[in-house]
Amino acid sequence: MRISSLVSLAAVAFPLVLSCAAPARAAEFSQEQKAWLAKAHRFERKGWTYLHIEGDGASRGFQHGYLLSHEIAEQLRVHRRVWEYNSGMTWPWLVSRAAELMTPKVDAENLAEIDGIVAGMKAAGIPTTRDEIVAYNAQLEFEGYWWPKEKKRLEDDHANAIKERCSAFIATGSWTADHRIVMGHNTMFDYTEAVANVVLDIVPAKGRRILMQTQPGFIHSGTDFFVTSAGLVGCETTIGNFSSFDTNGIPEFVRFRRATQDAGSLAEWTTIMRIGNNGGYANAWLLGDVNTGEIARLELGLKFVAYQSTKDGYFAGSNVAEDTALLRLETERSPTDIRQSSAARRVRWKQLMSENKGRITAKSAERFLADDYDVYLGKRNPGARTLCGHFELDPSQFGGHAEPFSPAGTFDGKVVDSAMAKQMRFVGRWGSADGMPFSASKFLKAHPQYDWQEGILKDRPSQPWVEFRAGE
């Protein structure tokens, strides 16, 4: 859809957007802000929120901050409580450190977008600051990689939590039914913060159009599933038990946004991600170019970086580094101990890919992401070791992963193939990829050790797979 068409459709819907999204009246906006908001819109679909924004950094940010003001405020409330419970430190303290270490490294366009979010939230009657939104955007790398080192420096004990985040694959050539790209990804995370249910359609003044999954208030993805108008698709799985971090580097969320908006090829995307790499939120990136059929895996550690590409094969991710140097020298993870979630899921990907070679389609991908076969037990058993993770069901009696019945696991599923990507669309499922519902009240009643999560742990009913496309 052309931009002019999109603007006119959004303008028609604008009065409805104002009435349901925020309390401010149109008369309270400047003429410039009214013009910005006339180009943006949001709607709900089966657990997801779709948000369209466009223009330069300031206008995109204002649209985002205003139209998702309540969702951003709620996520800040939840995240603050989780941070303070887990760390023992205050949220304002973390924000002040982000102001010192992260904000100065954000490029001008991204900073303008962040300032726009702050201004949009203010217009909706919800105050925040630039540094708080920076700290919020940087949470995965700053709290997961900088904080453990800072905690150790403060001479406090720290036990690194095993990071089990995401199961993903990408395949092409003779491995797929049509010899073109198929990619699937689901996200594993603590259920208190399982809110990355925004489909964000970005039309920047300069650069590539982006359709990606994200959460309210993020200028990047976080869950990292995207399609761009350059024909690039991508996702990632976190490299487990990785702790290196360079405070002098460029934040990961900044590099991701620049790469995804600016790159026209796999080579350009990976180059931007490598420049100024700080080691934060270290990931194995699975990438594809639907124009050429080429797929790639970029394992981005700090000291070690590995890149592979092919036009006939597959790459899978389960939080285990595949590059031997990165695995042995920058992580403490076993690729063979299938009592652990990551190693078990790694084996399961190999089985599924081998069993389905030459027949992989988008529908196959949906089935893979919902898979509940436990290779350690040798049977179907939804739990921590399955591709569709259910830590909340796992007593952990065999060891090797999280504490018993941890409220965490898979909370989505996303699939794209070459045909979809060329039209900038994908399918997604909100909630567990296998459709299993989650009741917060029933869980907390059964597991009172997590009563501190009362008021922030939320229900997720079963939802169907639905399609999203740029320009809706």
pLDDT(281) > 80: yes
The residues near 296 (Cβ < 8 Å, ≥ 6 apart) are 266, 270, 285, 286, 287, 288, 307, 308, 309, 310, 315
Question: Can you tell me which residue has the tokens 């802000």?
Answer: 33
Confidence of residue 154 (pLDDT cuts 50, 70, 90): low
- Span 363-375, mean pLDDT? 98
> Could you tell me the pTM of the whole model?
0.89
3-37: per-residue pLDDT in tens?
A: 332 332 233 333 333 334 444 554 489 999 999 99
pLDDT(156) > 80: no
Cα–Cα distance measured from residue 161 to residue 383, given in angstroms and rounded to the nearest whole number: 18
Count of residues in the chain: 472
pLDDT(308) > 50: yes
Nearest residue to 333 (alpha-carbon basis) of 160, 87, 184, 190:
160
Q: CA-CA-CA-CA torsion for 463, 20, 424, 420, nearest 10 degrees?
A: 20
Cα–Cα distance measured from residue 126 to residue 77, given in angstroms and rounded to the nearest whole number: 12
- Residue 310 is which amino acid? T
Looking at 149-153, 347-351, 398-402, 459-463, which range is the least confident one? 398-402
Residue percentage of the chain with pLDDT more than 70: 91
Q: What b/e readout covers 326-337, taking b as 16+ CB neighbours within 10 angstroms?
A: bbeebbebbbee
Confidence of residue 41 (pLDDT cuts 50, 70, 90): very high
What's residue 28's pLDDT?
A: 83
> Could you give the 3-state DSSP secondary structure of residue 349?
helix
pLDDT(275) > 80: yes
Question: Can you tell me which residue has the tokens 């969702």?
Answer: 71
- Span 370-398, mean pLDDT? 94
Confidence of residue 195 (pLDDT cuts 50, 70, 90): confident
- Residue 454 is which amino acid? E
Mean pLDDT of the chain: 91
The domains of the chain, with CATH numbers, are: 167-195+270-469 (3.60.60.20)
Cα–Cα distance measured from residue 101 to residue 226, given in angstroms and rounded to the nearest whole number: 28
Q: What is the DSSP letter of 225?
A: E
Residue 297: its H or E element:
strand 294-300
Residue 415: its H or E element:
strand 412-417
User: Bridge partners of 49?
Assistant: 44, 198
Looking at 141-150, 284-293, 338-347, 351-360, which range is the least confident one? 141-150
Cα-based angle 336, 340, 344 (whole degrees, multiple of 5)? 60
Confidence of residue 396 (pLDDT cuts 50, 70, 90): confident
Confidence of residue 164 (pLDDT cuts 50, 70, 90): low
pLDDT(294) > 50: yes
pLDDT(390) > 60: yes
What's residue 400's pLDDT?
A: 55
